Amino acid sequence: MQVDLQGRVAVVTGAAQGIGRSIAEALARNGALVTVSDVQEAKGRATAKELGLNAVFRRCDVSDAAQVRELFAAVAAEHGRIDIAVNNAGINTDKPEERVTVDQYPDETWRRILSVDLDGTFYCCKAAAAQMVKQRSGVIVNIASIAGVVPLRLQVGFVAAKAGVIRMTEAMACELGPMGVRVNCVSPGSTLVEGTRQLFYNNKELAQRLVSFIPQGRPGETDEIAAAVLYLVSDAGSYVNGHNLIVDGGWTCGFSRDF
Ligand SMILES: NC(=O)c1ccc[n+]([C@@H]2O[C@H](COP(=O)([O-])OP(=O)(O)OC[C@H]3O[C@@H](n4cnc5c(N)ncnc54)[C@H](O)[C@@H]3O)[C@@H](O)[C@H]2O)c1
């Protein structure tokens, strides 16, 4: 997919690898000046280098409000503006002792996931909005999940965080629309990244069971999530505000298995 983002200033969190990396790559390829941000310093730097002249790396732990403020202030100071913020950094857990029903769900797991997936997204939106409102322009895209649309069992923290991201996105769209700022989110379904390969897709039986829930019969590719983000941040999406764009091969549209 090709759009014109020539000279637009963009920040992508959690961009060292996975979906965030593909988003950063797509933005840079279409002309944006991209700040690749992540807690993983070496990997983040390597990613920015591979993306070429249009990308730089800045370390930031999104669960730390002060670090987030510093990140967005540094980008604004460098370029004088921020046009695009993609708040993608997120975590979940694959530990069996943390994939449990709510009565046993560890408080620590709840706090850890919420602090990155919900608090972190809030801090990033707040810092991006502060600059964008000044400019009277800008686009924010939050990466949520289908788990925030249709709850998955044994992941109550992740489900709550992502549902919060979707509602928060809508609330911010109402607030910031009059100030020239659009806020949307993308909810990926099961997408091929290192984590999901280890968890499901390297195991043929598990993989088959999982994709049997997906009408398109396969997991998503990170580029397919990046394409949705590209649409929302580009001028093609200029009248789209407060939307949750689900990219899940049809998983959440109904029951795809026979009774
Ligand atoms: N892969 C999927 O199937 C899937 C499905 C639905 C939603 N998502 C969402 O997509 C986003 C990207 O996930 P992914 O699959 O690429 O995972 P990933 O683990 O490959 O990438 C996440 C990145 O975020 C970074 N990160 C983690 N904690 C951070 C923090 N506190 N501050 C800054 N960066 C941090 C990690 O270092 C990593 O580079 C997440 O928000 C995730 O919830 C993924």
> What's the pLDDT at 257?
87
* 230: Cβ contacts below 8 Å, ≥ 6 apart: 1, 3, 26, 27, 30
What average pLDDT does this structure show over 94-99?
95
Ligand 1 centre distance from Cα of residue 251 (Å): 20
Query: CA 99 to CA 206: how far, in whole Å?
Result: 16
Q: 244 CB less than 6 Å from ligand 1?
A: no
What are the residue ranges of helices labelled H in the chain?
Answer: 18-29, 41-51, 65-79, 107-114, 121-135, 156-176, 194-196, 204-211, 222-233
**Nearest protein Cα to ligand 1, atom 41:** 90
> What's the pLDDT at 170?
98
Q: 256 CB less than 6 Å from ligand 1?
A: no
- Give all strands of the β-sheet with 84-87 in edge-to-edge order: 55-59, 33-38, 9-13, 84-87, 138-143, 181-188, 244-247
Q: 19 CB less than 6 Å from ligand 1?
A: yes
- Token digits for 250? 């049809």
Tens of pLDDT, residues 43-68: 999 999 999 989 999 999 999 999 99
Q: 232 CB less than 6 Å from ligand 1?
A: no
> What's the pLDDT at 53?
87
Domain boundaries, the chain: 9-190+222-248
Q: 63 CB less than 6 Å from ligand 1?
A: yes
Look over the chain and give the mean of its residue pLDDT values, rounded to a whole number.
Answer: 98
Q: pLDDT confidence of 259, banded at 50, 70, 90? A: confident
Name the DSSP letter for residue 16: S
Ligand 1 centre distance from Cα of residue 92 (Å): 8
Query: CA 238 to CA 151: how far, in whole Å?
Result: 30
Does 76 have pLDDT greater than 90?
yes
> What's the pLDDT at 58?
98
Specify the amino acid at residue 229: V
Instruction: Record the pTM.
Output: 0.99
SS3 140: strand
Q: pLDDT confidence of 1, banded at 50, 70, 90? A: confident
Tens of pLDDT, residues 139-179: 999 999 999 999 999 999 999 999 999 999 999 999 999 99
**Nearest protein Cα to ligand 1, atom 40:** 90
Pair type for strands 9-13 and 181-188: unpaired
Ligand 1 centre distance from Cα of residue 84 (Å): 18
Query: Smallest Cα–Cα separation from 127: which of 78, 80, 179, 82?
Result: 82
Mutate to test the pocket of ligand 1, among 21, 25, 35, 39 (most ligand atoms within 8 A of CB): 39
What is the per-residue burial (b if ≥16 Cβ within 10 Å, else e) of 167-188?
ebbbebbeebeeeebbbbbbbb
Q: 188 CB less than 6 Å from ligand 1?
A: yes
Q: Per CATH, is 9-190+222-248 categorized as 3.30.420.40?
A: no
> What's the pLDDT at 39?
98
Ligand 1 centre distance from Cα of residue 60 (Å): 14
- Token digits for 33? 């000046």
Ligand 1 centre distance from Cα of residue 117 (Å): 9
Does 24 have pLDDT greater than 90?
yes
Tens of pLDDT, residues 125-134: 999 999 999 9
Query: Smallest Cα–Cα separation from 160: which of 170, 171, 149?
Result: 149
Ligand 1 centre distance from Cα of residue 70 (Å): 21
